[in-house]
Structure 1
Amino acid sequence: MDWVWFLFAFDGRINRAKAWLALLVILCWMIFIAGILLFIDGMFGNPVKSVHFNLNDVFAFVDPAVLHVAIARLREGKEASPAHLVVTFFHTAGTLLFAWVYLATSVKRLHDRNRSGWWVVPFFVAPGLYAQFADRLPDSTLMFPLALTIFALMIWGFVEIYCLKGTRWTNQFGPNPLPKEQTRPRSSRSSSAGWDQTSSIELVPHSAGSPANMHVKRGA
């Protein structure tokens, strides 16, 4: 399997098993990078309390409030130590990497469902933005329909990407990734259901020269 295409490209199709495999790869990478961060931070004598990764952290990069706080802390020197800078760098790079892999594999899974990759906007981007800015939305009952819609989109996206089968035939995004199901299903007719007349009837010439007689074979 071409792992570069599988993890980073946005074209083509993958089946459900590979979508789950991508999540496993992301989880393993998270554990590996978290171990590196703890090791590096420990070398500087300032072990971090905890290391966590969340795909939704990518939306912090578009949150002006988060960026403002981060810049202010850097100016005050609170996070200007080598340990903090290394941890911040790896955390940022890891979050962007995980988000890229998740989006690339999700788009290919949507292609397998014969859907446009832009469906990641309601399935992933909208819930992520809502989670990032939910505490700053008005505290009103009018927000309940929005929250319910976001929750429904999350469930729909999960089912669509990780639970439902892809199209069995070649669609606009490429052939079926499962080689045994490449064409549209055809109606099958059992040969035993019909009567094969050619195998049940034969012409037997008469030895005395009279016209040929038709005999029915029993037990073709």
Structure 2
Amino acid sequence: MAKRTNPIVDGLFSFDGRMRRSEYWLISIGLGVVKGVLALFLVFVIGGLSKENNEFARAAIDLLFLWPAVALMVKRGHDRNRSLAYSVVALSLFLVLGVGIGVAGAMEREDLLAFAGFAAIALALYLLIDYGFMDGTPGRNRYGPSPKYPEASGRLVPDDPALPTPAANA
């Protein structure tokens, strides 16, 4: 595996390796600020966009930031020993629920809106806790050495069956 050169560039464009929580939060917040400034630029500088143009601009911004968002999520998932598929499925569910909220709102279906909204909040909380607050896998995992403890990269992961049990040490 190649040596990391810049955590920001690697975090935004690469799906390889692992990412610490601190890097994940800093890059996510920075990306959110850039996305917000770009949205404000489109609204205020370009001027009063029609509703159709406003929706197009929002979709274009979301599409522009999709790759970095997926890359961040996958790399943070790798630190939690989650596969690419796990992260992509979770993000896809979140996007589907977002579309479901929009469709339910347009159809004026309060029951579907409540269900999709509750499911989206539950998934967002799960992802926030799992990816944002939980520590990564200590030591090396299948995605590379620990970015938090590079000196422990040769150590076994605590749930590794090759580790001696406490009863064996007694």
TM over 0.5: yes
TM range (shorter): 0.5 to 0.7
Deviation at 1:48, TM superposition (A): 2.3
Q: Distance in 1 between matches of 2:113 and 2:32?
A: 33
Q: Which has the larger radius of gyration?
A: 1
CA 1:94 to 1:147, structure 2 compared with 1: closer, same or farther past 3 Å? closer
Is contact 1:124–1:154 with CA below 8 Å preserved after alignment? no
Q: Deviation per CA, 1:98-146, whole angstroms, max 9, x where unpaired?
A: 2211110110000001111222244322122122123545958699777
Which residue does 1:48 correspond to in 2? 48
From 136, 141, 164, the equivalent of 1:166 is 136
CA 1:157 to 1:48, structure 2 compared with 1: closer, same or farther past 3 Å? same
Which residue does 1:12 correspond to in 2? 17
Which residue does 1:97 correspond to in 2? 64
Q: Distance in 2 between matches of 1:174 and 1:154?
A: 27
Is contact 1:122–1:153 with CA below 8 Å preserved after alignment? no
Counting only pairs closer than 5 Å after superposition, residues 69-218 of structure 1 correspond to structure 2 as 88=56, 91-134=58-101, 136=103, 139=109, 148-178=118-148, 179-182=150-153, 183-184=155-156
TM norm structure 2: 0.68
**Aligned-pair identity (%):** 28
SS at 1:159's partner residue?
helix
Q: Distance in 1 between matches of 2:111 and 2:142?
A: 43
Report the RMSD for the aligned CA atoms in angstroms: 3.5
Structure 1 or 2: more helix by fraction: 2
Is contact 1:16–1:109 with CA below 8 Å preserved after alignment? yes
Q: Distance in 2 between matches of 1:145 and 1:133?
A: 9
Q: Distance in 2 between matches of 1:135 and 1:167?
A: 37
Is contact 2:13–2:71 with CA below 8 Å preserved after alignment? yes
Q: Distance in 2 between matches of 1:10 and 1:28?
A: 22
Unaligned runs of 5+ in 1: 42-46, 51-68, 71-78, 188-220
Structure 2 residue identity aligned to 1:48: G
CA 1:96 to 1:172, structure 2 compared with 1: closer, same or farther past 3 Å? same
Deviation at 1:12, TM superposition (A): 0.8
Which residue does 2:167 correspond to in 1? none
Is contact 1:22–1:102 with CA below 8 Å preserved after alignment? no
Q: Distance in 2 between matches of 1:28 and 1:148?
A: 26
Structure 2 residue identity aligned to 1:128: L
CA 1:143 to 1:28, structure 2 compared with 1: closer, same or farther past 3 Å? closer
Q: Distance in 1 between matches of 2:117 and 2:40?
A: 35
Unaligned runs of 5+ in 2: 165-170
Q: Deviation per CA, 1:5-39, whole angstroms, max 9, x where unpaired?
A: 22111111001011101212212212332343246
Q: Distance in 1 between matches of 2:75 and 2:135?
A: 13
CA 1:38 to 1:146, structure 2 compared with 1: closer, same or farther past 3 Å? closer
SS at 2:101's partner residue?
helix
